[in-house]
Amino acid sequence: MDRQRTTYGNVFYFTMDRLRTKYGSELVGGASVTPDGDVFLHLAKVYSLSHASMHRGNVCSDSGPFPDGVTNGYRWYPLAGGMQDYNYLKAQCLELTLELSCCKFPPAGELPALWTDNRKSLLAFIQQVHLGVKGRVLNGSGAPVQDAVVEVKGRKNMSPFKTNQHGEYYRLLLPGNYTFTVTYPDHEVLTETLDVPHGPDQYSAMKHDFLLRQTPATTSLTSANLDSANATSAGSQDVNLEVGGASARPTWTGLSVALGLVAALGPLIG
């Protein structure tokens, strides 16, 4: 084990890494910090501190010291066009990179020791899937909806987090109070504040469903509609119904017949 620790430098680093953008990433002390920087750092340290030696910050001959065995990718060396940035910005995937050895191809005889040193870290890292909050977004009828935007105040992402085809959402968050904003077409914007606990201890993230309210419909019957209806002697007549800024065209059969009768009987009554 002593030989392994002196031969191999263990490094675990997190994004964002390599490419700074205008979407919430900024330089802080030489590091490029993302809106979810606290989660990235937590995930990195969960692995490092659970490792047999990574947390000691042992380094390879061509790299500097890494406190607690972790470093910000941009602080280490900038890189444009990396998959970590793309997946985080476009697909909300929080990706981290493990550097397990200074030797790219360690001898087969040392693989069991590498596995032993990393086993506990891998299990602890996997358990972090239970961080934060998860649930569904339901429309005014109580049905789950796809592509509802679920945002957390103070965490502006380039591509907002959206619900999947089952109306499900999830956000990896450390324990604390967070204000959520949920938006979906033809529904009122919903804002709720949640007290998020530490889910990994219970092997389950906090579960919370957001129930939206449909935007009240407004009916507009203009004089033009009435003139058109009066000109119809019988049958059905389409009347524009404005709903939430959009135009729908239901058929109002009863109304058109009544207006048609008025138009036909008008000369006789006069």
Tens-digit pLDDT profile for residues 191-203: 999 999 999 999 9
Could you tell me the two tokens for 91? 């697909």
Q: What is the dihedral of CA 110, 112, 116, 122, to 10 degrees?
A: 100
- The contacts of residue 104 (CB under 8 Å, 6+ apart) are none
CATH 2.60.40.1120 at 133-211, yes or no: yes
User: Looking at 99, 151, 168, 192, which residue is catalytic?
Assistant: 99
Check whether 221 has a pLDDT greater than 70.
no
Domain 2-130 class, CATH top level: alpha beta
Taking only the tens place, the pLDDT of each residue in 131-176 is 999 999 999 999 999 999 999 999 888 788 999 999 999 999 999 9
Mean pLDDT of the chain: 74
Q: Is 99 a catalytic residue?
A: yes
Cβ proximity of 47 and 116 under 8 Å = no
Q: Where are the extended beta strands (E) located within the chain? A: 11-14, 26-28, 31-33, 70-72, 96-99, 133-138, 149-152, 168-171, 176-183, 190-196, 206-207, 210-211, 241-243, 246-248
pLDDT (0 to 100) of residue 5? 31
DSSP at 150: E
Count of other CB atoms within 10 angstroms of residue 101: 17
Q: What is the pTM of this model?
A: 0.70
Mutual orientation of helices 111-127 and 37-50 as an angle, nearest 10°?
140
Segments making up each domain of the chain, as ranges: 2-130, 133-211, 223-269
